[in-house]
C-alpha cells in the first residue's frame, strides 16, 4: 500500500531509499514539496488539534514514519511499513545533497546560540551550499510575514526547527504559496547537528531505544513520554473499530 493511515494521519509506505529518490526528483524539477516526519507525539497532537490535523491531511506531500512507535503501530493494524525514516537522517542527507549541488538553504528555529553554531559548522564542513537565511526561533512576527521573508531568498531547501505544530504551520503557508522548494520540519535537529545535544549512540539507535536514551539523559521529557502508552491504546481501539 502507498499510504498507511494511523489515527487519521496518512504515512507514506516507503523505504528511506525510495524517499531519497523521490525527493531528488522533486528538487531537480523545482517542485514545491512539504515533508512532515511524524512520530507518535505528532499523531496524538493532531488528534487533539483539528487545525493541525487539517495541515497534515491537506497540505503535506509526504509524511514519513519518524519513530519505532509508528512502525509498531503499522504492524498492529496489519499494514506494516518497512523502516523508520527519521527527520534527522533526512536532514543530514539533504544537507549533504545541498553541499554537493550548491543549493540555496534557509534555516529557521532553535536558540540563538544553536543557530550560530549551525552556521559555523556549515562554514567549516558544507562550504559549497548557499546559506541564504539562518535565524533563530525567537521571532515575534506573524508567520505570514516570516513566510514572505523566506520566499524572498528563493531557497531550494527550507528547514524549520520550531517544534510542532508551529514549524508545520509556517511550512504550510509556504506550500500554499507554491514555493518551489523542499520544506521540512526538523524539531530538535539543529541542536544535534550543531553538537549542542548528543544523538543517541548507534547501539541505542539500532535497538530502537533512542527514546529511552533521551529520557535517561533528559528526565524532563518524562511527561512527553506519557503520550506513548496513550498512543498504543488509541491504535488498538482504532484496530478494533476497523474489525467490527
Domain ranges of the chain: 3-243
- Considering the chain, what percentage of its residues have pLDDT values greater than 70? 86
Q: How far is CA 208 from CA 6, 84, 89, 90, in A?
A: 20, 9, 14, 17
- Mean predicted confidence (pLDDT) in 50-57: 98
Nearest alpha carbon to residue 45 among 35, 34, 56: 56
pTM above 0.85, yes or no: yes
Can you give the pLDDT at residue 200?
Answer: 59
Can you give the pLDDT at residue 205?
Answer: 63
Q: Which residues pair with 131 in a beta bridge?
A: 105
Residue 134 has pLDDT above 70, yes or no: yes
Amino acid at each position: 500500500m502507498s499510504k498507511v493511515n494511523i489515527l487519521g494521519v496518512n504515512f507514506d509506505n516507503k523505504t528511506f531509499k525510495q524517499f531519497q529518490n523521490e525527493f531528488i526528483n522533486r528538487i531537480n524539477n523545482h517542485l514545491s514539496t512539504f515533508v512532515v516526519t511524524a512520530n507518535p507525539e505528532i499523531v496524538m497532537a493532531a488528534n487533539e488539534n483539528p487545525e493541525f490535523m487539517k495541515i497534515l491531511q491537506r497540505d503535506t506531500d509526504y509524511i514519513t514514519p519518524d519513530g519505532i512507535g509508528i512502525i509498531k503501530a503499522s504492524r498492529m493494524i496489519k499494514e506494516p511499513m518497512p523502516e523508520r525514516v527519521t527527520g534527522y537522517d533526512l536532514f543530514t542527507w539533504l544537507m549533504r545533497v545541498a553541499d554537493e549541488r550548491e543549493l540555496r538553504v534557509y534555516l529557521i528555529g532553535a536558540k540563538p546560540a544553536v543557530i550560530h553554531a549551525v552556521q559555523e559548522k556549515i562554514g567549516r564542513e558544507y562550504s559549497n551550499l548557499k546559506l541564504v537565511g539562518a535565524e533563530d526561533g525567537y521571532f515575534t512576527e506573524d508567520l505570514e510575514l516570516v513566510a514572505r521573508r523566506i520566499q524572498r531568498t528563493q531557497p531550494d531547501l527550507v528547514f524549520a526547527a520550531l517544534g510542532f505544530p508551529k514549524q508545520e504551520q509556517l511550512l504550510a503557508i509556504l506550500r500554499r504559496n507554491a514555493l518551489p522548494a523542499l520544506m521540512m520540519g526538523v524539531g530538535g535537529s539543529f541542536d544535534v547537528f550543531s553538537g549542542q545535544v548528543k544523538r543517541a549512540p548507534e547501539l541505542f539507535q539500532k535497538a530502537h531505544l533512542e527514546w529511552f536514551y533521551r529520557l535517561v539523559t533528559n528526565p524532563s521529557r518524562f511527561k512527553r513520554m506519557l503520550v506513548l502508552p496513550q498512543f498504543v491504546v488509541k491504535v488498538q481501539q482504532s484496530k478494533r473499530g476497523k474489525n467490527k
